Amino acid sequence: MDITPHDRAPGDETTPEARRDETLAGLQAYLIGLGLSLILTATSFWAATTSALWAPGVAIGLVVLAIAQMGVHLVFFLHITTGPDNVNNVLALAFGVMIVGLVVIGSLWIMVHLNANMMPSATG
Amino acid sequence: MTTALTISHGGHGVPPGPSMDGPAPKRIVVSYGFWIFLLSDIVMFSAIFATYSVLVQATAGGPGGAQLFHLSTVAVETACLLLSTFTCGLMSLAVNIGHRAATYLGGAITFLLGAAFLTLEIREFAAMIAEGATPERSAFLSGFFTLVGCHGLHVTIGLIWLTVMMAQVATKGFTAFVHRRLLCFSLFWHALDIIWVALFSIVYLMGAR
């Protein structure tokens, strides 16, 4: 992982001033993450309840907003960044995202086709 | 390929390795291992999400999401969990500077917000079951209770873990392994909020339309 204030080992040789700066930088990151998450969440709830948007496009918009918010959480809360110590974490994340995509998209794809091939009396 | 490997290893008796910096600090190795566990947990959730999405139309004549979900309750639940993930971050800042009182305060607020989330969720489940929307009513409701209940179970485990960690801070102090466990706890708690983001978007916001 990147050496952020969050990851600073206990007992590291840092001066009290440096330590205070790190805590302030960490606080700033959490505040940015909270602010962005609140904006994205509020947008999602607004998009789901308003009638001002084109209804068939809302579902895609909600997925995009959710993925954006997951990205915000990963960077500002979990500190999965592009730092040199973070390469292993990012690679594991990429593999996890691939498996999640295969499971979700693959299941929906196959089941929609199976459902379409069912006898009309057997559906619903 | 062989040539490239030989060059990259120096060829002067230098042991092969990913870098010349020596082994990573233990907290980085521990958080990497815990991150792998969290990803496997997310893969498990993705299977439950896929099941739910396949079954979402199979209401068998029973109530659907539009009749059952109250978005105002979901908004309060979302706010509780998001703020508790924020206070969990503040708690880990307090842990890093070894500030005991701020750690207890952050842990207590995180616990209360998590408990408020769980209370709202249990009341929502109880109200649904009282209306006859039980897990055995339809495939949609089975999928709903499995998915949301599984997340709620994780939150419950997180609350127990947080209590245990506060007790360990009280009895053992800020030792190296208490630090690492608190780091793993904060990763776990943040990951639960990531799953909740997918959950409120896909289950509640799309389902209530």
Q: Which two tokens stand for residue A72?
A: 């915000």
Residue A43 at interface with chain B, using a CB cutoff of 8 Å: no
> What CATH code would you report for B37-56+63-207?
1.20.120.80
CA B136 to centroid of chain Cα atoms:
27
Partner residue opposite B197 with nearest CB, options A70, A85, A88: A70
Same domain, yes or no: A70 and A45: yes
Same domain, yes or no: A92 and A44: no
Partner residue opposite A92 with nearest CB, options B35, B83, B89: B35
Same domain, yes or no: A31 and A54: yes
Residue B44 at interface with chain A, using a CB cutoff of 8 Å: no
Q: Give B-chain residues touching A59 at CB under 8 angstroms.
A: 206
Same domain, yes or no: A90 and A72: no
- DSSP assignment of chain B equals -HHHHHHHT-SSSPPP-S-SS-SPPHHHHHHHHHHHHHHHHHHHHHHHHHHHHHHTT--TTS--HHHH--HHHHHHHHHHHHHHHHHHHHHHHHHHTT-HHHHHHHHHHHHHHHHHHHHHHHHHHHHHHHTT--TTT-HHHHHHHHHHHHHHHHHHHHHHHHHHHHHHHHHH-S-HHHHHHHHHHHHHHHHHHHHHHHHIIIIIIHHT-
* B136-173 residue pLDDT tens: 999 999 999 999 999 999 999 999 999 999 999 999 99
What pLDDT, on a 0 to 100 scale, did the predictor assign at position A2?
45
Partner residue opposite A9 with nearest CB, options B27, B36, B205: B27
Minimal C-alpha gap between A6 and chain B (Å):
6
For residue B208, pLDDT over 90 is answered with no
Residue B24 at interface with chain A, using a CB cutoff of 8 Å: yes
What pLDDT, on a 0 to 100 scale, did the predictor assign at position B209?
77
Same domain, yes or no: A26 and A67: yes
Residue B200 at interface with chain A, using a CB cutoff of 8 Å: yes
Residue A44 at interface with chain B, using a CB cutoff of 8 Å: yes
What pLDDT, on a 0 to 100 scale, did the predictor assign at position B10?
42
Q: Give B-chain residues touching A8 at CB under 8 angstroms.
A: 96
How far is it, in rounded angstroms, from Cα B143 to Cα B147? 6
Same domain, yes or no: A48 and A29: yes
Same domain, yes or no: A68 and A110: no
Which among A111, A59, A46, A93 is positioned nearest to B143, based on CA atoms? A111
Given a contact cutoff of 8 angstroms between Cβ atoms, the answer to whether A38 and B82 are in contact is yes
Inspect the interface and report whether the beta carbons of B202 and A66 lie closer than 8 Å.
Answer: yes
Same domain, yes or no: A75 and A93: no
Residue B193 at interface with chain A, using a CB cutoff of 8 Å: yes
What pLDDT, on a 0 to 100 scale, did the predictor assign at position B22?
77
Please state the domain count of chain A. Answer: 2
Give the domain ranges of chain B: 37-56+63-207
Domain range for A28 is 1-81
Q: How many CB pairs under 8 A join A and B?
A: 134
Q: Give B-chain residues touching A7 at CB under 8 angstroms.
A: 27-28, 31, 183
> B198 pLDDT band (50/70/90 cuts)?
very high
Same domain, yes or no: A54 and A65: yes
Inspect the interface and report whether the beta carbons of B190 and A78 lie closer than 8 Å.
Answer: yes
> A121 pLDDT band (50/70/90 cuts)?
low
* A65-110 residue pLDDT tens: 999 999 999 999 998 877 777 888 999 999 999 999 999 999 999 9
Same domain, yes or no: A50 and A100: no
Q: Which of A65, A81, A97 is the last residue of a domain?
A: A81
Same domain, yes or no: A23 and A63: yes
* Arithmetic mean of pLDDT over chain A: 84
ipTM of the complex: 0.84
Same domain, yes or no: A58 and A113: no
Percent of chain B with pLDDT over 70: 90
Owner of token pair 């091939």: A117
CA A36 to centroid of chain Cα atoms:
12
Residue A72 at interface with chain B, using a CB cutoff of 8 Å: no
Average pLDDT rounded to a whole number, residues B62-88: 94
